[in-house]
A and B are shown apart, each in its own frame.
Chain A
Amino acid sequence: MDLFKLLPFLEEEELEELANKIINSETNEFKGVKLVNLLPFLDEEFIGQLAKFSVQKGKSYHEFLPFLDDDDVDDILLKAAVEHPIKNEFYSLLPFASSDGLSKLLDLILKKESEADVNRIYPFLDEDDISKLFKIIMS
């Protein structure tokens, strides 16, 4: 039976069980189903847990981004900003973060607690933060 075609009909628990099987497999798939195929059917809170687990394990979290809640994106963003902002994947978080999250990120950079590249971040900030940043730079 084609598991892929069954996905829309699976119960929440079955989907979560399948997601765990995929995450724990060496090939990152189960019977041809990849995590990215499951994401549209999973609960937002569960996707948040999966994303944070992937970050902890140093795995890619790129595919989760469109399905994550703003708060989860902000959590990942602020943690990654301090720990590994050099990775390109960090910057793919920016369009999905909330303006509050981005504002906190700017504060971390200004306090030199993050080495994230402010040149790549400023276009995503809200207008008040952009004005604040340029006032600091030009003072």
Chain B
Amino acid sequence: MLDLVGIGENIKRLRIQNNYSQEKLAEILYVSRQAVSYWEGGKSAPTIDNVVTLSKLFNISVDKLLLIDEESNLPENLLKNHSREYVLMLILSNELKFDLTKIFIYLDDYERMTVLKNIKNKRIKYDINKLRYLLKTEEIIFIKKEK
């Protein structure tokens, strides 16, 4: 699943770098200014034709524009390039492409507890013992507690 918020920020950054206003970009793509604003706000995704045009206009690959290039998905870049909700969704849907320990320490308390709860109820398929050395006392008590 695409991270629309991250892609929106990417489009905005590229538009500003290329000195386009939202109106000008909308004019080039034959869409309304509101459409561009919706993309940048992560409220909707550009159509496939518009993704192709944007990638040519900004001279960037479609994968990079849509944040599906390998570099933006490295552990150290994942939270920088994507919204936190998207990263949490990746973890919850077992789609993380590297070991959870590499990103767990960057999660906030709420996110860590959400992950632990979902490992405990087996929605996330992961050996909790691999995380043990990263856990705080209350988190260890939480995972040890019976349902």
Binding site for B on A (CB under 8 A): 99, 118-119, 122-127, 130-131, 133-134, 137-138
Contact = CB atoms under 8 A, between A and B. Distances in A.
A126 B48 contact: no
Given A118-B48, A130-B66, 11 more contacts: A119-B45, A119-B47, A122-B2, A123-B2, A124-B1, A124-B2, A125-B2, A130-B2, A131-B62, A134-B48, A134-B51
Nearest to A127: B68
Contacts of B47: 119
Interface of B: 1-2, 4, 45, 47-48, 51-52, 62-63, 66, 68, 95
Given A119-B48, A122-B48, A131 B63 contact: yes
B27 to A, nearest CB: 21
A131 B1 CA distance: 12
A66 to B, nearest CB: 14
Nearest to A125: B1
Contacts of A127: 68
Contacts of B4: 123
B1 A126 contact: yes
B124 to A, nearest CB: 15
7 contacts: A122-B2, A122-B45, A123-B45, A126-B1, A130-B68, A134-B63, A137-B48
A96 to B, nearest CB: 12
Nearest to A133: B48
A122 B44 CA distance: 12
Nearest to A95: B1
Contacts of B2: 122-125, 130
Contacts of B68: 127, 130-131
A98 B135 CA distance: 31
B52 A134 contact: yes
* Interchain residue pairs A-B with the least CB separation, the first 9: A127-B68, A123-B2, A119-B47, A123-B45, A134-B62, A124-B1, A119-B48, A130-B68, A137-B48
B1 A138 contact: no
